[in-house]
Structures are given as structure tokens and as C-alpha cells.
Amino acid sequence: MAKFHVKRTLFGEDQKSLVFRGSILEGDIAKGMAIKIPVTDKAIIDVKIDDVVELISHDTGEKRTGLVAKFLDEPDALEIVADLNVADEDLVVE
């Protein structure tokens, strides 16, 4: 189990993926793992990580980690997860 702090969630360049931008708080995170996003106290959405990338701010040069989730054949799932607007949250990754 790992923990990831999501600073902000953005659409990928292809508009069919989301990038959870932030930093790893504990453990290791790799492609194939799942981000656990709580929707309610009892409901959690698992979002599969398709890639882990390093992001660098053009303004400050600050480095962040990006967890990329692709929704190529699932536009409804993309919309649901995007609408959650995950930001400034610590999430479990398994």
C-alpha cells in the first residue's frame, strides 16, 4: 500500500485520460496499481494507473509526480471521475 497526495487533477492531452498531479507520501507507486478515490464514507472508486510520469512546472521548475489513468473506451467513467474534481487529498494506492 502507498499514499499519494493529489494536488490537482487535469485532463491529459488526448482528453481521454486524467492526470493526478501531486507527490508520493509513502511507499512505491507503479503502473497497474489502483488509486482508491472515496466517493462517500462507504463507496470507493478504483482508478487503474496506466503510467507514472514526472512533471516539471514551467514557471517554478518544481517537480511533481503524475499518475495517468486512461479512459479510452469509457467516456462515462472519465466524466464521473473528472467530476469528482480530486484536489488537495491524500489517497491510498494499491
Task: Name all domains of the chain by residue range, CATH numbers in brackets.
Answer: 2-93 (2.40.30)
Strand order in the sheet with 44-48: 44-48, 34-38, 89-93, 2-11, 17-26, 63-70, 51-56
pLDDT, tens digit, 9 for 90 and up, residues 42-80 = 999 999 999 999 988 788 888 899 999 999 889 899 999
CA distance 94 to 87: 19
CA distance 91 to 94: 10
- Write down the pLDDT at residue 23: 96
Q: Give the whole-number percent of the chain exceeding pLDDT 90.
A: 80
Residue 29 has pLDDT above 90, yes or no: yes
- Write down the pLDDT at residue 60: 83
Beta carbons of 47 and 32 less than 8 angstroms apart: no
Band the pLDDT of 92: cuts 50, 70, 90. Answer: very high
CA distance 71 to 73: 6
